[in-house]
């Protein structure tokens, strides 16, 4: 007997992936062909309209987890913890999230979009490499998104720990776009591209993980 709910879920996920991929490709062409749009400038001005040394430090702290070599140390520590507690497949897939760095670098080179300049926004953090997509947003979406999935999926882990890790992961995913724009490191379209590409990569990582576990 055909499970209608499963079929409908697969159709939804397939169309969701198609829309994400199409949207990311379209956005990539837009930012490659045109300078920062009016909405990029307006959003940056809005996000940076409130400024203070304390807010600078908070936004820098949010971005800290995506600044090399912090992601490598953090990822390896999380992978080791999973491995020690007998979640060896999960440890391997946590390491797999490091692929975001290579993916980000390749697309940055292809699109070759310049970073925001001091003539257009306030620069709190001087960032290297090209601007699109946001590597921080891409990494946070993949790494912390996968942790969110694991906390939902691994019922054998203590509930309180699962909730705490899930809330912290969700908080970082939601705040990193504002952090990158506030710091003057990225435009809105950069963080949007990073988020979309992160969801695409996360989709395939989760699908591969589920296939390996069944």
State how far Cα 85 lies from the chain centre: 26
Closest to 142 (Cα-Cα) out of 61, 78, 58, 59 = 78
In angstroms, the CA 100 to CA 142 distance is: 7
The more confidently predicted of residues 13 and 122 is 122
The pLDDT score that the predictor gives to residue 128 is 82
User: Do residues 81 and 94 touch, judged by C-beta distance below 8 A?
Assistant: no
The 3-state DSSP class for residue 116 equals: coil
Residues 6+ apart with CB under 8 A from 199: 20, 141, 145
The pLDDT score that the predictor gives to residue 213 is 61
Closest to 44 (Cα-Cα) out of 105, 131, 112, 130 = 131
> Taking the model in full, what pTM does it have?
0.92
Q: What percent of the chain has pLDDT over 90?
A: 78
Over residues 162-185, the mean pLDDT reads 97
For 78-104, letters b (16+ CB in 10 Å) and e give bbeebbeeebeebbebbebbbebbebb
In the block, tokens 């435009």 appear at 187
The pLDDT score that the predictor gives to residue 214 is 55
Is 71 a residue whose pLDDT tops 70? yes
The pLDDT score that the predictor gives to residue 164 is 97
Which one-letter DSSP state was computed for residue 129?
S
Domain extent for 55: 4-213
The pLDDT score that the predictor gives to residue 202 is 95
Query: Can you say whether the dihedral through the CA atoms of 149, 145, 161, 159 is positive or negative?
Result: negative
Domain count for the chain, please give it.
1
Query: Exposure of 18 by Cβ count < 10 A (0-12 exposed, 13-18 middle, 19+ buried)?
Result: exposed
């Amino acid at each position: 007997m055909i499970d209608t709910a499963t079929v409908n879920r697969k159709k939804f996920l397939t169309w969701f992936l198609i829309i994400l991929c199409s949207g990311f490709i379209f956005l990539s062409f837009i930012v490659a062909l045109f300078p920062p749009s009016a909405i990029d400038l307006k959003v940056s001005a809005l996000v940076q309209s409130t400024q203070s040394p304390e807010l600078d430090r908070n936004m820098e702290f949010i971005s800290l987890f995506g600044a090399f070599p912090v992601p490598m140390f953090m990822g390896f520590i999380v992978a080791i913890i999973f491995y020690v507690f007998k979640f060896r497949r999960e440890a391997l897939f946590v390491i797999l999230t490091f692929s975001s760095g290579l993916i980000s670098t390749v697309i940055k080179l292809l699109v070759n979009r310049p970073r925001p300049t001091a003539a257009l926004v306030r620069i709190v953090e001087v960032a290297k490499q090209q601007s699109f997509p946001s590597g921080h947003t891409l990494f946070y979406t993949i790494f912390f998104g996968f942790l969110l999935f694991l906390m939902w999926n691994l019922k054998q882990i203590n509930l309180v720990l699962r909730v705490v890790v899930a809330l912290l992961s969700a908080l970082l995913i939601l705040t990193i776009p504002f952090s990158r724009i506030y710091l003057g490191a990225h435009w809105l379209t950069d963080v949007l591209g990073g988020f979309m590409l992160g969801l695409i990569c996360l989709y395939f990582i989760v699908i591969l993980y589920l296939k390996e576990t069944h």
